[in-house]
Amino acid sequence: MDVPADGERVTYDADADELDVPENPIVPILYGDGIGVDVAPAAKQVLQAAAEATGRHVEWMRVYAGETAREMYDENLPAETVEAIREFRVALKGPLTTPVGAGFRSLNVALRQKLDLFANVRPTYYLDGVPSPVKAPEQMDMVTFRENTEDVYAGIEWEAGTPEVEQVRTFLEEEMDAEGIHDGPVGIGIKPITEFGTKRLVREAIDYALANDRDSVTLVHKGNIMKYTEGQFRDWGYEVAEEEYGEDVITEDTLWEERDGEQPEDALVVNDRIADNMLQQLLTRTEEYDVLAMPNLNGDYLSDAAGAQIGGLGIAPGANFGQGRVLAEPVHGSAPKYAGQDKVNPAAMILSGRLLFEYLGWEDAASLIGEAVEQTIASKYVTYDLHRQIEGGEKASTSEFAQRVAATIDELA
């Protein structure tokens, strides 16, 4: 792969925990599978417009995974791609296809684990004009922090009918006195949740909440059932809050026992909720929640459910944070049946790029992107997925939508 000659690398000072970001950073971009060929170029156009409107320029560098990598390298995830993202520290990625039930494991998960991108971060907020299935979608303004490297996504499992799974079954039943495994074929998986993985994820969520003037961080778990994994996630999360942040953070118990429920203006509240209860509270008490921190699988479910309330995954951005490293990516999948048709909504990938810019410290450019996307949708100039739900709208292609957003950025700048 070719490294742009005119760009500069983003570097990281580990002691200060700070990025050094040039005005012309090299940013790897991975188009991905399916509709990635449509939404990635659209996002590039919009992000470049925002960068240039604020006196900067992005030097994009193509990297490959998934279908395009198989064509070029005869493998799904080339080492060159992983090393490029590791070296240049910031990257933008389109959707990658993950087979269901067979085939290779998720390339999305593989990238997160290989690069130790331990926090999957998904801001969920309403954009004016987007059709929603709920009465008051504007109440949703939430950020989910999902642990990215552990839980069932660690991939420690054995297939039914193999000698290995029978060895595990025998060990569990005879050595560990495990009960509840029915006779006959069985698939077995292990769910690791560590103190290290939990605490760095919760720490990242609390730091984000404090830096962005949020009121609460909620630990979402199923610890009433899985007491030694998700229950331990809850306990370790509270340890971080109580031992590392002094008076800046208080627990919900302290809030009620010592302050009669009155939250001080200068303190963040950490609480916890059972995962199934949290799913319904997303709908019934939306405004009460700010930042959610949770294990991997809970985060997958909860972030998608939150996205539904603001109009669906077509506008839901995401990013993966590591230590001085970010890989931004939309929440939606690759939708291969629409690939190359220039019709799908690129807003999620554009807004994921906005997250990347925020990580770089380019708040002015990020603000332009958010405002321009919202203005474009509010004007009813939308792609087919929203057009069919909006009366009197004008249907735009993927590329036309991006062009309108980029033009709006120029007008706002």
Q: Residue 97, annotated ligand binder?
A: yes
Catalytic residue chosen out of the listed positions 38, 151, 290, 300: 300
Selecting among 153, 238, 289, 381, the annotated active-site residue is 153
Cβ atoms of 191 and 151 closer than 8 Å: yes
Q: Check whether 332 is labelled as a binding-site residue.
A: yes
Backbone angles phi, psi at 394, to 5 degrees: -115, 125
Judge whether 160 is annotated as a binding position: no
- Known binding residue 112? Answer is yes
Bridge-partner residues for 122, per DSSP? 144
Of 170, 186, 187, nearest in space to 178 by CA: 170
Cα pseudo-dihedral 337, 339, 344, 348, rounded to 10: 110
Q: Report the relative pairing of strands 216-221 and 291-294 from DSSP bridges.
A: parallel
3-state secondary structure of 354: helix
The residue written with tokens 């949740």 in the block is 193
Q: Judge whether 132 is annotated as a binding position.
A: no
Cβ pair 334, 34 in contact under 8 A: yes
Is 384 flagged in the annotation as binding? yes
Judge whether 38 counts as a catalytic residue: no
- In this structure, what token pair is assigned to residue 265? 């203006």
Ligand-binding site membership of 211 (annotated)? no
DSSP conformational letter for 25: B
Residue 364 designated active-site: no
- Is 70 among the annotated ligand-binding positions? no
Terminal Cα-to-Cα distance of the chain (whole angstroms):
34
- Residue 17: exposure state from Cβ atoms within 10 A (0-12, 13-18, ≥19): exposed
Choosing from 44, 93, 191, 222, the catalytic residue is 222
Active site residue 300: yes
Q: Residue 199, annotated ligand binder?
A: no
285 is in an annotated binding site: no
Rg (CA), the chain: 22
Catalytic residue among 20, 141, 235, 276: 276
Positive or negative: CA dihedral 241, 243, 248, 254: positive
Give the residue among 102, 39, 30, 36 at the shortest CA–CA distance from 65: 30
Q: Which residues lie closer than 8 Å to 110 by C-beta, 6 or more apart?
A: 77
Name the DSSP class of 150: S
The reply to whether 122 sits in an annotated binding site is yes
Beta carbons of 112 and 91 less than 8 angstroms apart: no
Q: Any binding-site annotation on 388? A: yes
Query: Is the separation of the CB atoms in 131 and 308 below 8 Å?
Result: no
Q: Name the DSSP letter for residue 33.
A: S
Instruction: Select from 318, 326, 323 the least CA-distant residue to 302.
Output: 318
Question: Is 336 flagged in the annotation as binding?
Answer: yes
As annotated, the binding site for NADP(+) includes 97, 332-338, 345, 384, 388
- Which residues are identified as catalytic? 153, 222, 276, 300
As annotated, the binding site for D-threo-isocitrate includes 106, 108, 112, 122, 146
As annotated, the binding site includes 97, 106, 108, 112, 122, 146, 300, 332-338, 345, 384, 388
As annotated, the binding site for Mg(2+) includes 300
